[in-house]
Structure 1
Amino acid sequence: MSPRVQWLTPSPLWNELAAGTDKGPFRSPALLRFATDQFMEDLQALLASAAPQNLRNYIAQPETWQSPAAGLPPLDKSLPAPGGVTVSSQKSKNTVPPPFKFFQPVHSRFYLVCASLVCRMPSLPDHQVKSNQGERTSFVVRRLRPKAGLTGVDLSVFNPLVCDEFAWVTADRPGWAQVAGSGFAEGEENLPLSGFQCGKTSDRRRIFTGLIPASRRQTYVAGREIQLPPKGGPPVPPPEDPRKIDFQRLILDPWVEMVDYFSKLNPLPPLTASDNTAMSMAQGSAFVLIDFAGFLDNNLNAVWNAVNTPALAGSLGVAQRALYNALAATIACLQPVGSRLSLAAAIKTAKSFEQAFEDAVLTTTTPALPVDYSGPVLSDTSDPQLLSLIRRDSSNPLSPRAIQVLVEAALDEVGPSPPATVRVPAKDPENPQGDDWYIVRCAYEQPLCGMNAPPLLSDPSRPFQLASFFDPDAPARSIQVALPVDTSPAALRKYDKNVAFMISDQLSKQMSRVKGLKQLMDGDLADPNGFGLGMICSFSIPIITICAFIVLMIFLILLNIIFWWLPFFRICFPLPTLKAKKS
């Protein structure tokens, strides 16, 4: 690539920014802020006008919904920015300005990166991007982090001596990878730039703009730091085993929830088929045991074969044999009363009744089990061996449970997991506050030039933060929800019933058990009735809207005792002309 090509701020801003003593903004992409959904039309109209230099009025600045601001700080402090708001008039000189953060489109804010690609020659002519030769322009979003060992670093001002750049890598596991060198990180996401002409025919120039994805804030916050393999170096450690995650979320977590719930009951219900609570526990346990069986069959097939045929246990590996031996712990069964099964036998039994559970239909008001199913209950921890499997180390509440350690060791013994076919659940974000700082760099690529033309990246933009959906400084869109004006029966009967609900036969039976609000709160339910037919019911949207509004107000008033939010909830103005009935 010719060394004479460079990125600069968009050409309509050159005269103003070149006159300043700080040339950093002149060499950096500009960040534009628009406040309407027609922001692209507004930009095109501005660039096609006789005064494209008014692009200065859209430079993003720190703002809040109370003090909106945009535009370059004018030399004359009395010059207003768009909307009559002076950028420099942030309350007073002694007031600390708000953080420079980008709000989301739902807040009616749209942000563009804008730059010019020029040749480093007199008059800085535009550099032609030859798309027919594979050349392209794009931009990247990068997160800033203090260098290792540094604390208290101010990342609102870019300083490569104290901060590192992390690129958003869109691989099998999207995340942030530290950038080494001046080019792209391997697998780094490139966002598109679009070309626009600005100015009149005689002095027309080309600029590039791209929409900054401010609405991705939660995705970026949840992104984990990942390690990319250095060129010629050792491979990256494998990602977290999805099989281990599946065991925790499908089997271990529901199991522990049942144990915790059962242990808090006072008094403890008898483990008999005549007790509804015990039957509910047995029903829930059955589904966990069925999932446990499926997990063993899919991921630890040798252990599953030993569960079905104990004679095969001798051929198991050390870790798998340890897991199989742990399944000898016993749990209580509802029938016969006082009987017990080993965990392995309970898993095998539940699996054999899987189809019966899947085909079960609601026939009574109480939980039911398939005929001849013994009803093992995972919430029973009277066997010390079973309790030791699911209990954490009392000295370390974050330690893994014994059953989890055994399963993970067995999985490691059978080898690496196959490629994941489902999305791995999100892990805890590294920075839950989400107050990271980001920069944008524009990029120009000439792939046909090979190694002689690495991607040309611009200087970094001004660092910014991404605001959350519920940021208290965020502007709020004006949204009006119209409720029916005339709510008399004579008026409500005229509305069409145009919302259809499909109600299955089983749901219809369950709904018929509700006799009234008080009876529902007291647990007094009727027997299912009706003909066992599915239904399609049509409802009136205006009446549903009124009900939703009333329910909302009820819950707001009920929860006010906790949050004390009613003084901040609403502002009402009288409308004398809004009458349901004409005089």
Structure 2
Amino acid sequence: MVAAITQHDTKWVSPSPLWPGSSSTTLGREDFRRPAILRFNTDGFMDELLSVMNDYPENLGEWKARPETWREPMATPPTAAKLQPNQPLSKFKQTQTRQLKRYTDATALAAASALVATDSTQNLPLKLYQPAHQRFYLVTASFVCRKVGLPDRKIDLAKQQKVKFVLRRLLPKDISDRIDPEVCDLSQCDEYAYVLDGDAYRWERVGEAESAANKVLKDNEERLPMFNVGYEEDVDKKRRMLAGYIPVGKREAYLSKEVVESPGADVLPADADAAAAEAAAQKRREAITYLFQLQVGGPWKQLIATADSENGKNSDWNANAPEIAEDSGTPASDDDSAKSGLRDVRDRIQTISWYILVDLVQFLKDYVPKVYSYIADGAAPADLTVAESNLYDALADIGLDRADYEGADFRGLFAKSDIYDSLLDALEHVIDHPGLATDLDLVEYPFERATDNSSQEYQWPSFLFPLADPVNDAPLPDLTVDDPSTTEPEQSQEKIDALAELVGEAIAEDTAKPAPEVHPPKVPKQSNTLGWFYIRCVFESPECGPFHPAIVSESTEAFQLASFFDPDAPGRPVNIPMPLDISPAGLRKFNKNARFMVSDMLCGRFKGARKTTLGDLVLSVLPWPFHKDLPEPGQTSCSKGDLGFGMICSLSIPIVTLCAFILLIIMVILFDLFFRWLPYLFLCLPIPGLKGKS
């Protein structure tokens, strides 16, 4: 005998405590069939939920989310004042309360209706705010059997049965259209599921919004958890509500993901393995290329920007005069400000250039080994690819003219022949001196020709190859940029980006070096919308296989996820008490309980910086001829005899807080020149009797 398989007719509906408030109108029937969103405005929202479900479940509708702004917030639920989450009711009192409900149900329903009728923001979109705004939201529903009384459907955890909810995104059918930020017309939208593809999520199209065909789950779709909340609907009549926390804080992650059309009805492409391998290889290539930008391309572009900025501030510079005395043609004295300006800038650029060259050599050795061997040996490998050859040619084109540095004051540290005119020569020097990278790591102070710490005993390299210069043209690859009409320094920086593209194409696939754990920034794939969403609840019984597919609910009301700086967002109250008595007598009473560990290098810089005066700060921001650079903090470390030492510095937190507040006021006033924001920052009210001295 074959037993018949009983099809359980089950359904998702709104949470059972809201059923008495559902009317027989079309809108009421729609609300009955869909999950509801509850809104809470306290950090103890879970205690509040449990308390209301334990004592006043019939009034749960007062917490149903409605449109609000900080100017017109949602009305506080009247029942909230009756809750005692920290003092549960006794069983006797609970029974009395439920017996009293029969006389107050009508009043409760009228009060809930009044909340909706008097809400002046009902024409605004439903916007869910973040926990930082002191707003918390739960999606709630009941999973019932379609029998008399709509009893709760049992969820058998032993059979792996689960209840979850999924977040679905609404996008216009024409992706170039813009959804009205105030109104979401579902007839003009498609529904998208948040699906895991490899190790990244993306939005995949499900179908037209609110279509019955959308009540399905996508493979690898993100499922968010739900939990049970039990309560007594009447005396000795227990029911269950299912709820799940809505992660509004993930808004930026949701909106930044790629939007794609559905790949098909669970049909995998024939070459899925090959496609996955290619995607992994592409991800590895992107990560390594981004590493090149982090270590080489980015710092190089910043050097070019620095050189251009310094040249703009000192337009009277030329290749020779600043480093040569005006009349004698000999190196000028250290007090010659005209000379020291260019020399100091070149010293800073050369210092960073050495580190960039070391990182470039290591990068080529790890990820483009054939090009590295080509540079080291001077002979092209037999199996050199076209991409690798193109990269080598681009590097070979990078050079400078020694004649541009005829007037440089080398202070006897370098000869003119120590300036390499080719990047390949500089890279070959680094390769031939493997200890150079270690020596550079041991350097404690910046390279400055005007001081004693520029000699060879301080581990500085014995060659010069600046990757930028405030007077001369920078050594750059001879590559075509996308827009030749761009001006400097953008055009030079675009050439470095073009070099990075060649690097990405030449990266070897068979190196033993793993890809670095870096995350290249991606342009958000969001459309021109503010992000409309709704939620569907899901019941899954995987042990039943295809006989009982997942049961998906109707969608909730469409809503937006508010950004952190949404102008309509409520403001969480933040009170920061400041020290009252700021006189020396009052400040000396505070404990110095914040400690900083200071190395011997930082200790020396800290002592030197304490000599800087207010006059030095003023002169440093004045234009020429009044400008004067800040004095050097010194090149010595803290020591006693031959013993170097660091320090443990203890600070007073109240004084640090005062300094932070004063600096904030100073910066706000300074930048008010550009932003005109001062009238919108402060609102100070008098507090009678609040004195620093009692």
2:468 alignment counterpart: 379
Q: 1:509 aligns with which of 601, 604, 618?
A: 604
Shift of 1:81: 6.0
Aligned to 1:403: 499
Structure-1 separation of matches of 2:308 and 2:685: 53
Aligned to 1:337: 416
The alignment status of 1:443 with 2:538, answered yes or no, reads yes
Q: Structure 1, residues 244-266: CA drift from partner, whole Å, max 9, x if none?
A: 22223332232222223323414
Letter in 2 for 1:188: E
CA distance in 2, matches of 1:424, 1:276: 35
Q: Provide the C-alpha distance between the structure 2 equivalents of 1:430 and 1:523, rounded to a whole number of angstroms.
A: 46
Structure 1: give runs of 5+ residues left out of the alignment: none
1:410-559 pair list within 5 angstroms = 410-411=506-507, 414=509, 420=515, 422-431=517-526, 435-514=530-609, 515-516=611-612, 517-520=614-617, 521=620, 522-529=629-636, 530-531=638-639, 532-559=644-671
Is 2:408 aligned against 1:311?
A: no
Q: Which residue of 1 aligns with 2:37?
A: 31
Q: Within 1, Cα distance between the matches of 2:67 and 2:33?
A: 21
Residues 593 and 652 in structure 2, CA contact (< 8 A), matched pair in contact too = yes
Question: What SS does structure 2 have at the residue aligned with 1:207?
Answer: strand
Q: Go from structure 1 to structure 2 and tell me whether the alpha carbon gap of 1:16 and 1:170 turns closer, same or farther (over 3 Å shift).
A: farther
Are 1:287 and 2:366 matched, yes or no? no
Percentage of matched positions with identical amino acids: 32
1:356 to 429, 435, 439: 439
Query: Which residue in 2 is equivalent to 1:186?
Result: 219
CA RMSD, aligned part only?
3.5
Q: Does 1:328 align with 2:396?
A: yes
Q: Is 1:47 aligned with 2:47? A: no
TM-score normalised by the chain length of structure 2: 0.75
Deviations 1:126-179, CA, capped at 9 Å, x for gaps: 100001111111111122111246735558546366323231537412333333
**Given the two structures, how large is their TM-score scaled by the length of structure 1?**
0.88
When residues 525 and 346 of structure 1 are mapped into structure 2, their CA distance, relative to the original with a 3 A threshold, is: same
- Alpha-carbon deviation of 1:457? 1.4
Deviation per CA, 1:266-320, whole angstroms, max 9, x where unpaired?
A: 4457598982211111111122222222221221111112221122444311221
The answer for the alignment partner of 2:85 in structure 1 is none
Residue of structure 2 in register with 1:225 after alignment? 259
The number of residues matched between the two structures is 574
- Relative to 1, partners in 2 of residues 1:377 and 1:501: Cα closer, same or farther, differing over 3 Å? same
When residues 38 and 526 of structure 1 are mapped into structure 2, their CA distance, relative to the original with a 3 A threshold, is closer
Shift of 1:390: 7.9
Q: Is the 8 A contact 2:592 2:653 kept in 1?
A: yes
Q: Give the counterpart letter for 1:402 in structure 2.
A: A
Distance 2:527 2:595 in 1: 41
> Quick one: structure 1 residues 286 and 67, their matched pair in 2 at CA, closer, same or farther if it must change by over 3 Å?
same
In the aligned structure 2, how far is the partner of 1:386 from the partner of 1:452? Answer: 66
The structure with the largest alpha-carbon Rg is 2
2:478 matched to which residue of 1?
388
Conserved? CA contact 1:157–1:462, under 8 Å:
no
Aligned to 2:292: 247
**What is the CA distance between 1:512 and its match in structure 2?**
2.3
Query: For residues 224 and 528 of structure 1, what CA distance do their matches in structure 2 show?
Result: 51
Residues 527-572 of structure 1, C-alpha deviation per residue, up to 9 Å, x if partnerless? 3454242100111111111111111111122222222222222222
In structure 1, how many angstroms separate the alpha carbons of the residues matched to 2:607 and 2:124?
Answer: 56
Between 124-133 and 13-22, the greater mean CA deviation after superposition = 13-22
SS at match of 1:197: strand
Amino acid at match of 2:631: D
Whichever residue aligns with residue 346 of structure 1, its letter is A
Secondary structure at 2:572's aligned position in 1? coil
CA–CA distance in 2 between the matches of 1:463 and 1:358? 57
**Residue 379 of structure 1, CA deviation:** 1.4
> Which 10-residue stretch deviates more, 465-474 or 215-224?
215-224
SS of aligned partner of 1:378: coil
Aligned AA (2:296): I
**Which ranges of structure 2 fall in alignment gaps of 5 or more residues?**
1-5, 78-105, 208-213, 324-330, 332-339, 403-409, 621-628
Q: Is the 8 A contact 2:36 2:556 kept in 1?
A: yes
- The aligned counterpart of 2:159 is 133
Judge conservation of contact 1:71–1:87 (CA < 8 Å) in 2. no
What secondary structure is seen at the aligned counterpart in 1 of 2:379? Answer: helix
Match of 1:571 in 2: 683
Residue 513 of structure 1 deviates from its aligned partner by 2.5
Secondary structure of the structure 2 residue equivalent to 1:501: strand
Q: Distance in 1 between matches of 2:361 and 2:117?
A: 67
Change over 3 Å in CA distance of 1:162–1:578 after alignment to 2:
closer
Deviations 1:406-441 (A, max 9, x none): 223223x74799875524233121338771111111
How far, CA to CA, are the matches of 2:260 and 2:426 in structure 1? 41
**Residues 405, 465 of structure 1: alpha-carbon distance in 2 compared, 3 angstrom cutoff:** same
- Residues 277/317 of structure 1: CA separation in 2 closer, same or farther (3 Å cut): same
Describe the superposition over 1:21-67 as per-residue Cα deviations: whole angstroms up to 9, x where unpaired.
22222111101100111111111111111x31211111111100111
Shift of 1:576: 1.8
